[in-house]
Amino acid sequence: MSGIATEARHGKAEGLDRLAPKEILTLLAMGQQEAASAVDGAIGAIAKAADLVSSTLRAGGKLVYAGAGSSGLMAMADALELPGTYGIPREQIVLLLAGGISSLTDMEGAPEDDVALAERDAETIAAGDCVICVSASGSTPYALAVARVAKARGARIVAMANNADAKLFAGADAAILLATPPELVAGSTRMGAGTAQKIAFNMLSTLAAVQLGHVYDGHMVNLRADNEKLRARAARMVSEISGAGIDEAFRQMQAAGGSVKIAVLLAAGAPDADAAREALARSGGVLRPALAEFENSTGFHKRA
């Protein structure tokens, strides 16, 4: 048995391949649930990481994700969602994946050991950036090298790993330990470890978006509405927040150039889109205090 938690053998794996399909799936489901619960112990660290991410993005710095293999895929899934879901400028999101995007068709293992590649990839990192390095083992050479270069360049480091003694945690500004149990298939960290990472990424980036003012009463008010489904969702948000009818909400969305925040302010009594933008500028892009300006001046009150 390996002394590394992510390589250890699960106590119930004996005879796994001899079990009935439903019994195997029951054990696999149990493993996923146990992995998910590991996130509970990392909430404080995730909150600290979200503060680093939101302050970096607010100041105009880049959010850099770095990883290899399955962990890199979890990082990529989070990175690719942020511009569309929360309107975070794509130029502020950088993905460093061992082997590059071209590796996605084959996922070879060798690039995760390539320190020189990591050092070249990390040249995009600058002081004032925030780098999230993820590795199930916490010892992946690619992730370690990116973290080392990023630290030397003055970036802030968030480290995410599934082993308590992870080398990746050394020198990190926020260390997210996801203490997942051994995998039912030993070392297959795309399973439980990956599930915990995905949950942690979801939590981290969502909290950061809330702190940036991109969420209002559970609505993603800074989304990029670039298809029919999202335009309809945006109009529903405007309607629900402002109390305007859905047809009026669509009209305000057009007047706002597709911005939910501006459309809500127009429905609240902003005389035009420029006035709404100015109110948002005064509030740092946060809808609630900007909305309060027009609630106070026009007597508008949000529908309960």
Q: What are phi and psi of 239, to 5 degrees?
A: -65, -45
Reply yes or no on whether 81 is catalytic. Answer: yes
Judge whether 216 and 288 are in contact, CB under 8 Å.
Answer: yes
pLDDT number for residue 304: 38
Reply yes or no on whether 112 is catalytic. Answer: yes
Start-to-end Cα distance in the chain: 58
* pLDDT < 70 positions in the chain: 1-11, 13, 102-110, 184, 296-304
pTM, 2 dp: 0.89
Same fold, 7-211 and 215-298: no
In 10 A of CB 226, how many CB atoms? 10
- Residue of 7, 34, 91, 112 marked catalytic: 112
Element (H, E) at 130: strand 130-135
The Cα 223–Cα 186 span in angstroms is: 40
Go through 12-41 and write b for each residue having 16 or more CB atoms within 10 A of its CB, e for each that does not: eeeeeeeeeeeeeeebbeebbebbbebbee
The Cα 175–Cα 43 span in angstroms is: 11
The Cα 254–Cα 219 span in angstroms is: 19
The Cα 204–Cα 212 span in angstroms is: 12
Domain 7-211, CATH number (from 3.40.630.30, 3.40.50.10490, 1.10.150.120, 3.40.50.2000): 3.40.50.10490
What ranges do the domains of the chain cover? 7-211, 215-298
For residue 60, what are the contacts with CB-CB under 8 A and spacing of at least 6? 92, 128
User: Could you name the CATH architecture of 215-298?
Assistant: Orthogonal Bundle (1.10)
- The distance between the two most distant Cα atoms of the chain, rounded to a whole number of Å, is 72
- Residue of 34, 81, 248, 295 marked catalytic: 81
pLDDT number for residue 13: 64
pLDDT number for residue 1: 39
| Interval 148-185: pLDDT, tens | 999 999 999 999 999 999 999 999 999 999 999 887 67
pLDDT number for residue 287: 94
